[in-house]
Amino acid sequence: MQKKLEGKVALVSGSGRGIGREIALKLAAEGASVVINDLDSGPAEQTARDVRAAGGQACVCVGSVAAPDFGERFVGQALEQFGAIDIIVNNAGYTWDNVIQKMSDEQWEAMLAVHLTAPFRILRAASGFLRETAKREIAAGLRNHRKVVNISSTSGVYGNAGQVNYAAAKAGIAGLTKALAKEWGRYNVNVNSVAFGLIKTRLTEAPADADASIDVEGRKIHVGVNPDNLRNAEATIPLGRAGTPAEAAGAVYLFCIPESDYVSGQVLVCGGGRP
**Active centre residues (catalytic):** 166
The answer for 240, left when phi > 0, alpha when psi is -120 to 50, beta otherwise, is left
Cβ atoms 139, 199 nearer than 8 A: no
Q: How many CA atoms lie within 13 A of 35 on its CB side?
A: 29
Q: 97 Cβ partners below 8 Å, 6+ apart?
A: 162, 163, 166, 222
Cβ atoms 117, 66 nearer than 8 A: yes
Cβ atoms 182, 189 nearer than 8 A: no
